[in-house]
Amino acid sequence: MKMFEKAIAMILALCLVCGLAVSASAVTFTDAHGNEIELDATLEAYTGAVLRGADHAARKGETNLGNLWTDALRWFAVSGKINEYFEEDDVTAGNNSIAVDADHIVALWNGGNLRADVPEGKFGAEQLAQVLPYPNKVAVVYMTGAQLKEALEAASQGLPYTEETAAACAAFMQASGLGYTVDTAREYDKGEAYGEHWFKAASLSRVTVEDVNGGDFDPEALYAVITSNANFNGMDASYAFKAAAEEHEKSTITTAVVRDVVWMYIAEELNSVIGPEYGEYQGRIAVK
């Protein structure tokens, strides 16, 4: 009996040690939906500059955090790593990779979903969770160039940013793989009301797509837009995303969690060091 009791005590002690080890390597974070999630506290990276997301920075124009975030999403697709995250039904149907060439893959991310700065110096998973406190998944939306341009026009309707237009500017898109200009001197042509703060675009006049991955923009070409499940489903001003997703059957929501993908990019592609290429804005988006 004593040997049995000793064995039980050893097992309990081992469980306690294991439990402490697990808790020491994890931190609990409550997301914007009130869900408690565990983050890996051992993750660590370094940035040489503040990555701007606080104070609605990403709703006003291009930011270095927006560049990093969208670069991570585009890299995830172009590298082929996304292929492991297609739903089983997609894979069964043969939809298990991006269906266009790399020069037709772009990434868009709405500025309203970049909520905090990443401070200069060391940071970890908790800082990324503060930037995006939502459990967003990576989505692929196939759009023609014309649909893509309309999506950018609608997303930019709140610009120029003011306190009165802050909510509408949540839809403004950070970008990787394309450059575009928003001419705020031209009035947005409001069509049908869409949601609380937005209108569909009755015509396209404010946005000019300057290039796609260094090449010419083609309104007739098919592009793969890497974004979030929220935009896929038409959040904010993203009605064009929703319509395109319904039209192009290979559009899909993957199982990949966006924060995990961003961290994967930082660790694997940047070797956990965010260098001077993200210290300044890169001229991807011009708001005139």
Question: Sign (positive/negative) of CA torsion 174, 178, 179, 181?
Answer: negative
How many Cα neighbours within 13 Å face the side chain of 53?
A: 26
Q: Is the pLDDT of residue 25 over 50?
A: yes
pLDDT-based confidence at 92, cuts 50/70/90? confident
- Span 59-76, average pLDDT: 97
> What is the predicted pLDDT for the residue at 40?
83
- Would you state the pLDDT for residue 32? 59
| DSSP structure string for 186-248 | SPP-EEEEETTTEEEESS--SEEEEEETTB---TTSEEEEEEEHHHHTT-TTTHHHHHHHHHS
Residue percentage of the chain with pLDDT more than 70 = 90
Q: What are the backbone dihedrals phi and psi of residue 56, each rounded to the nearest 5 degrees, phi first?
A: 60, 25
Can you give the pLDDT at residue 1? Answer: 43
Residue 104 in tokens: 């037709």
Q: Per-residue pLDDT for 221 more than 50? A: yes
Mean pLDDT of 54-70: 96
**Would the pLDDT of 24 be above 90?**
no
Residue range 86-99: mean pLDDT, rounded: 93
pTM of the model: 0.88
Write the pLDDT tens digit of every residue in 191-218: 999 988 999 999 999 999 999 999 999 9
Residue ranges of domains in the chain, CATH in brackets: 56-287 (3.90.780.10)
Name the residue with higher pLDDT: 229 or 1. Answer: 229
Q: How would residue 14 be classed by pLDDT, with cut points 50, 70 and 90?
A: very low
pLDDT given at position 209: 98
